[in-house]
Amino acid sequence: MSDAAQPTAAEVRAAAEAVKTALDRHLAAVERRSGEDDPAVYEAFNQLAAAAEVYDELLYDRYDEVTPFEIPGAEDALPPYAGPGEPHAISVLIRRDYTVAEPQRLLAQAQRVEAAEYGDGGAGEEAAATVPGALSTLFGEFEPDEIASRHAEFGLEEGDSTLWVTAAEGPAEAGEWLEAPFEQVDAQQVVCRFDVSAVFDDEADEDDEAGPAAGADELDLVADEDDLEPLDSDR
């Protein structure tokens, strides 16, 4: 970075003062909290996160130094549940990622399904001859949970997965959301969320080297709507 683009020492000092002010506001909000999900604490947390991020960036740009702590950014601070106290309906949203690790195994499995249904040389043989066609055949034949449990048989390798349970006042009308099933997800309606990722295994390994782990990483009680792109079938 050129000298002209660097922040001044005064700007870094002002950013540090902003962090101190945000810390005081956050502590005051915590001391006055009205409950576990007090929105004032949530807002103060976001302000503290934003101030710390600005300070960290200016400190690095000016002095090539970093802070010894990390505060999640505002986008990682999740809102408290604000749905109905007694939901009369729920939606379960699932995303599972896979890598097509063995395309030939995938194709062979799909062709077996088509042969069993149509016989050798049947109408479905061409559809199962490509990877997209094979995926369509297998996900049309098997439930997503069965594919998850047998993914290696189908030449797939597991990636991250997440399951969200969202609350609603009542059931949706038949066919109401089928055209865009995952478009309108309100993070404040999420009752609970369960995540599985290899990154948690890496963190656990680091914790094992440093000492006992503090807790499980696979469970979050709230969710970020921007990250949700479920892959479940609309069957």
182 and 95, same structural domain? Answer: yes
111 and 208, same structural domain? Answer: no
- β-sheet with 190-196: strand ranges across: 89-100, 156-168, 190-196, 219-220
134 and 164, same structural domain? Answer: no
- Say what angle helices 131-141 and 103-118 make with each other, to 10 degrees: 60
- Where in the sequence is the domain holding 189, given as residue range(s)? 84-99+160-235
How many structural domains comprise the chain? 3
- Give pLDDT, residue 202: 62
170 and 58, same structural domain? Answer: no
- Give pLDDT, residue 203: 58
Cβ atoms within 10 A of the Cβ of 47, count?
18
Task: For residue 136, give both structure tokens.
Answer: 């369509």
Q: Which residues pair with 98 in a beta bridge?
A: 158
User: Do 52 and 195 touch, CB atoms closer than 8 A?
Assistant: no
Residue 211 has pLDDT above 70, yes or no: no
166: left (phi over 0), alpha (psi -120 to 50) or beta: beta
pLDDT greater at residue 222 or residue 41: 41
187 and 95, same structural domain? Answer: yes
Q: Three-state SS for 159?
A: strand
**CA distances (Å), 97 to each of 74, 78, 81, 195, in order?**
26, 23, 27, 12
- Give pLDDT, residue 5: 72
**What is the average pLDDT value for the chain, to the nearest integer?**
80
171 and 150, same structural domain? Answer: no
123 and 185, same structural domain? Answer: no
Residue 184: pLDDT band with limits 50, 70, 90: confident
9 and 67, same structural domain? Answer: yes
106 and 95, same structural domain? Answer: no
136 and 200, same structural domain? Answer: no
Residue 210 has pLDDT above 60, yes or no: no
114 and 24, same structural domain? Answer: no
Distance of alpha carbon 118 from alpha carbon 178, whole angstroms: 30
pLDDT greater at residue 144 or residue 227: 144
Q: What is the pLDDT of residues 82-100, one digit of tens each?
A: 888 889 999 999 999 999 9
- Give pLDDT, residue 185: 83
